[in-house]
Amino acid sequence: MKSIEHICEKYAVKNAIDHGEAQVGSVMRIIMGAHPELRNKAKDVKEILEKKVEYVNSLQKDQLQQTVQEKFPELLQEEAKVETKEDVDFIRTIINEDNKTGKFGGRIHTRFPPEPNGYLHIGHAKSINLNYGIAEEYGGKFNLRFDDTNPLKEEIEYVKGIIEDVKWLGGDFEDRLLYASDYFDQFYEYAIQLVKKGKAYVDDLTVEEIRKERGSITETGKESPYRNRSIEENLDLFIRMKNGEFPDGARVLRAIIDMKHPNLLMRDPVIYRILHAKHHNTGDKWCIYPMYDWAHGLEDSIEGITHSICTMEFEVHRELYDWYLDQLEDENDKPIYHPQQIEFARLNVSNTVLSKRKMLQLVNEGFVNGWDDPRMLTIVGLKRRGITPEAISNFCKAIGVTKRKTVIDISMLNKFVRDDLDKSCTRVMSVLKPMKVTITNYPEDKEEEIEVPNHPKDKKMGTRKVKFTKTLYIEQDDFMEDPSKGYRRLSPNKEVRLKYAYYLKCEKVIKDKKTGVVKEIQCTIDPKTKGGISSDGREVEGTIHWISTKHAIKAEFRLYNDLFTKVNPLKTEEGKNFTDYINPNSLEILIGYVEPQLQKTNIGDRFQFERNGFFNIDYDSKKEVLVFNRIIPLRDSWAKK
């Protein structure tokens, strides 16, 4: 394969010949189509391409032709054949067509615009992966912009948390960390422009009155009695609103559109409301704040966004988005820049809720232990649980992008988490529900070191040594005094394999005299089966794990399951709230033991506890007791079959 430098220069030259000037976005799209093997190096390709495009565009026409003849003669014979991915989603299909027609001059510029009124969840991760992925794939730009237009619900804690989450997920917004509040002055000037055009008025009706007079789908709205105020009066009142002369709720600025419009959002929507509240970014400068629909399109326009990608609930807002942009001119009396809004179906996952408002309720009412509770599908919750950004990205790519509303079974997310961890996690032995085993034919003072692999499929991960002694811990579930049919683990007079060690046979069961509960099992080993293989060729049905009691380290295990018992907890039965479907078994806490080397690990480190699942070290860990979160079981025992 030719070098990346050669490929970038070739297609930059071709683009310059075809269009008079090379465009980074257009050339990037061609390269990614012709050389899909470079998609995982898109960032490096873009850096090289930007330099090549700058160089190519600096050449005179005769120099460009000479470059073609000397370095790329194949361009003189035929056009470069571009292999484009056939099975692209509908958003990329739109973008490809826009690039083909030159709608945005070959540019691609996307954004992720969260409102800082809560922490992000996996639904936002899908949007981040989509918007950033498109920008990266087409050699474009990606903004992180906060839609911070409501100071009553926004907190700096959420701003900081969202920035960290986007970075953790891999969204590279470079130096483009932006805020809607940065544009408040421009928003205000645009509103003045609407008033001067006679397309906006100050209304004295209350919020309740406005809602009532708006009508319904079957009933047209009624015009406000203040709708016909003169431009001069509206301008005076709006300026006085901005200067703080009126109390909260006294007046609003509304657009003049059509009170009979079939789309209720087009019935003279509110543009500004009075709100004497301190803003996290602008302080006390403003006492009027723009509504989301007014701010949304203007933010995109100011930033030069090409494709404003939103979830489907904003589809009905698109008409208003376009109307606002179509009414305004720039300082040269030309129409302001107009991005394209595209909607896709939001992510819904079974057995949980993906609504910041609902999640906040769960936090405030104590159903979960904060926004980062690992049972929540918030980004901070997923991160704390031990799920990697790679697993989330792979999941988002797999579910794709459509307009159809669906609920993704949580088992699909679990699959990608499990596949990701299986390749990277060191294997370790742990005992979550300890049962003591005494080996009666093993010397009290004897101690063996057994070398075991850290990963059965990856020899590069090396080996470790575990101690074998007279007394061990095994799982309670690995012993049954009166075994049911098909039970293959330890039971009286039956042999099992101690993983990596010996065949073990149960000889005696010791119970608590008062409760009758088994508290110890006395066993023997076959010394000739070291390594778990018998010299006489006999086989055992079961293999169980273990830990030396002498070397075991005490640990707390937090086992997480679905937060809700119902697939869609928001579909409530009469008289019930979504919290009525909280799973009482969503968290189980156990005290057990792990191998001693885990004392030297770090917060967040991940492991596969053999036969028990994937775990990571929680930040609640202390020197005395390590705390482990179960990321996911080895098998998806609760998946819907």
Active-site residue numbers? 115, 346, 356
Give the tokens for residue 60: 């005179």
> How far apart, in whole angstroms, are the C-alpha atoms of residue 343 and residue 348?
15
Identify which of 523, 509, 502 has the alpha carbon closest to the alpha carbon of residue 441. 523
Q: How far apart are CA 553 and CA 593, in angstroms?
A: 5
In this structure, what is the dihedral angle of CA atoms 389, 391, 392, 394, given to the nearest 10 degrees? Answer: 120
Residues 389/170, Cβ–Cβ less than 8 Å: yes
Paired tokens of 65: 């032709």
Q: Tell which residue, 507, 510, 498, has the closest CA to residue 534.
A: 498
Q: Which residues contact 164 (CB under 8 A, 6 or more apart)?
A: none
Measured CA to CA, the distance from residue 445 to residue 436 in angstroms comes to: 18
Beta bridge partners of 112: 144
Structure tokens at 361: 């309720």
d(CA 335, CA 325): 8
According to DSSP, the β-strands at 495-498 and 200-203 are: unpaired
Structure tokens belonging to residue 122? 């996996």
* The 109-112 sheet, strands edge to edge: 109-112, 141-146, 177-179
Strands 547-548 and 430-431: unpaired
- CB 561 within 8 Å of CB 537: no
616/111 Cα distance (integer angstroms): 33
Q: 42 vs 8, 38, 84, CA distance in Å? A: 12, 6, 16
358's tokens? 């609902």
What CA–CA distance (Å, rounded) separates 628 from 613? 11
Buried b / exposed e over 202-215, threshold 16 CB at 10 Å, is bbebeeeebeebbb
Alpha-carbon distance of 112 to 156, in angstroms, equals 18
Strands of 426-428's sheet, edge to edge? 426-428, 606-609, 613-617, 626-632, 553-560, 587-594, 430-431
